Amino acid sequence: MNKFYVTTAIPYVNAKPHIGHALEFVQADAVARYHRLINHEVKFLTGSDENAIKNVKAAEEAGVPVQEFIDKNAELFKQLGEKLNISFDVFQKGSSPQHHKASQKLWELCKHDIYKKEYTGKYCVGCELFYENSELNENGECFEHPGKKLEEVSEENYFFKLSNYTEQIKKLIESDEIKIIPENRKHEVLSFLKQGLNDISISRSNERAKNWGVPVPGDPTQRMYVWFDALNIYQSGIGFGSDEKEYEKWWPADVHVIGKGILRFHAIYWPAFLLSAGLKLPKTIFVHEYITINGEKMSKSIGNVIDPVQLIEKYGTDALRLYFLKHVSPFSDGDFSEEKFKEAYNSDLANGLGNLVARVAKLCENNDINIRAISKTEAGVQNKIIFWLPEPGLEKKYIEQVENFKFNEVLNIVWQQITNLDKKIAEFKPWDNENKSKEEIEKFLADDAVLSIRDIAKLLEPFLPETAEKIEEIFKGPKVKASAPLFPRI
Ligand SMILES: [Zn+2]
């Protein structure tokens, strides 16, 4: 059996989750569910980055002990995952003793590339990263956090010989041994590598780390730099340093799903740490863009941060999942407004899918239809040939698009099937029992309409799992059970 290991990025838990986190959860979940559908054995990991200085600062501002503060926020991330029907198997906390132990193990394995030196640099607390002047905007601020002054930091730290790995990483990325999707992000990494890599600081004094984070093995005065340990959550969550058999089974990751802001860490630092430690490398990094709100960058200062939980409570889980997957392109910034969201809901779900399901169910009920077969896609999945789509080449396209994370294009294919079936019904007119025999009508409904809907439900499973299940229930047979509308019009 093929194994498939997919991760989300590991978010800082310095605040409660916003809609951008929901986007990434949903994208990664579609990947995980697709691989389960095609009979891969899947491990799906998410977690919380709990060792960052900005978590400590946020806790101090809130006047709450750090552990209590991050536990509470981590729980909110977990709950968001559950509300979005995200099928993760592991939620790994960065402050867990098991993770600390795993990170100390990684440090020991990298020890031959670690040395101590005095360092002064400009540090962005938002990014948890030192920047060169050439990497800052005209006000001397980082591009991810404009308006935030950088701190000038001077102290003795441990450094990692990142410069040793420039050529090796360049080759791995050029050859797609570590495949970065999309292509423009691959070029971004390669052009960064062209400038050469500097060694990086991978520890903080206890004082600056506020005694928080993973202690450096053998040096009680220092804590690990958060990115050194945070990336290792991908390993600690599947047994690295605690259950070697489990770790051997799942590592390396087949896909890391990340946002564009943390590409460098995943495409350069992470492979370098792993190479240094003599461990296997992740196979693919899927880099998504961000969500803007009414055309503006989401930010606390603009006050346009949207709480995904409120949207789920108001419109339902699959309505939000559909918006993220069909109406947001993974490879360009997508915009969210409640207006656009409602429009998409009404046209795709209330009038599109929901209406089709209700219509066919009603016709089947009126004609007392017996369901006598399974659909071609269902048969395909059972026989591991997987999908069936009516036009030549369409299955291949569906698979290709999912495997390249083009969820919007996959869903356009599925919605085309919905439109086609609507058209077929309008043309056949199964309600016209004056010009058609009972047998003709029964045959059309049972063999064409119902089985097409069940095909559609199967194709939707990775994306709208709850809706797919409801549709499968309605058309399971032996009789069709008409139900309340799946998506009442807003
Ligand atoms: Zn920054």
pLDDT 10s digits, 395-422? 889 989 999 999 999 999 999 999 999 9
Q: How far is the CA of 175 from the centre of ligand 1 (A)?
A: 30
- Which candidate in 35, 78, 99, 142 is catalytic? 142
Burial label for 152, CB within 10 Å (0-12, 13-18, 19+), is exposed
CA 180 to chain centre: 15
Sign of the dihedral through C-alpha 350, 353, 358, 360: positive
Mean pLDDT value across the chain: 93
Return the structure tokens found at 320.
């939000």
Q: For residue 364, indicate whether it is catalytic.
A: no
Q: Which residues contact 268 (CB under 8 A, 6 or more apart)?
A: 162, 169, 189, 192, 193, 197
Task: Tell me how far apart the alpha carbons of residues 326 and 321 are, in angstroms, rounded to a whole number.
Answer: 8
Task: Kindly report whether the peptide bond that precedes residue 182 is cis, defined as omega within 30 degrees of 0.
Answer: yes
Q: For residue 124, indicate whether it is catalytic.
A: yes
- Which candidate in 21, 93, 99, 256 is catalytic? 21
Task: Tell me how far apart the alpha carbons of residues 131 and 134 are, in angstroms, rounded to a whole number.
Answer: 8
Q: How far is the CA of 218 from the centre of ligand 1 (A)?
A: 31
Query: Residue 118: helix, strand or coil by DSSP?
Result: strand
- What strand order describes the sheet that includes 334-336? 296-297, 291-293, 334-336
Residues linked to residue 49 through DSSP beta bridges, in sequence order: 12
Q: Residue 147: pLDDT above 90?
A: no
pLDDT reported for residue 386: 63
pLDDT band at 359 (very low <50, low <70, confident <90, very high): very high
Q: For residue 145, indicate whether it is catalytic.
A: yes
pTM beyond cutoff 0.85: yes
pLDDT digits (tens, 9 = 90+) for 455-477: 999 999 999 999 999 999 999 98
pLDDT reported for residue 358: 96
Q: How far is the CA of 393 from the centre of ligand 1 (A)?
A: 45
DSSP labels, 433-446:
TTTS-HHHHHHIII
Residues linked to residue 256 through DSSP beta bridges, in sequence order: 7, 285
pLDDT digits (tens, 9 = 90+) for 193-214: 999 999 999 999 998 888 999 9
Task: Tell me how far apart the alpha carbons of residues 69 and 346 are, in angstroms, rounded to a whole number.
Answer: 39
Q: How far is the CA of 316 from the centre of ligand 1 (A)?
A: 34
Q: How far is the CA of 130 from the centre of ligand 1 (A)?
A: 9
Q: Residue 385: pLDDT above 60?
A: no
Query: Residue 97: helix, strand or coil by DSSP?
Result: helix
pLDDT reported for residue 387: 65
Q: How far is the CA of 330 from the centre of ligand 1 (A)?
A: 23
Q: Are strands 41-48 and 129-131 parallel, antiparallel or unpaired?
A: unpaired
Q: For residue 260, indicate whether it is catalytic.
A: no
Half-sphere exposure of 176 (CA within 13 A, CB side): 4
Q: Residue 134: pLDDT above 90?
A: no
Query: Residue 3: helix, strand or coil by DSSP?
Result: strand
Q: Residue 383: pLDDT above 80?
A: no
Q: How far is the CA of 306 from the centre of ligand 1 (A)?
A: 21
Angle at 393 between CA 391 and CA 398, to 5 degrees: 95
Neighbours of 53 (CB within 10 A): 21
For the chain, the C-alpha Rg in angstroms (whole number) is 25
- Which candidate in 116, 297, 314, 362 is catalytic? 297
Q: Which residues contact 424 (CB under 8 A, 6 or more apart)?
A: 448, 449, 452
- Which candidate in 127, 186, 364, 458 is catalytic? 127
Q: Residue 163: pLDDT above 90?
A: yes
Q: Give the H or E element holding residue 44.
A: strand 41-48
Half-sphere exposure of 375 (CA within 13 A, CB side): 25
Q: For residue 110, indicate whether it is catalytic.
A: no
Q: How far is the CA of 148 from the centre of ligand 1 (A)?
A: 8
Q: How far is the CA of 142 from the centre of ligand 1 (A)?
A: 5
Return the structure tokens found at 334.
């997508």
Q: For residue 327, indicate whether it is catalytic.
A: no
- Which candidate in 93, 122, 124, 326 is catalytic? 124
CA 216 to chain centre: 31
| Mean pLDDT, residues 360-384 taken together | 83
Q: How far is the CA of 136 from the centre of ligand 1 (A)?
A: 9
pLDDT digits (tens, 9 = 90+) for 309-358: 999 999 999 999 999 999 999 999 899 999 999 999 999 999 999 999 99
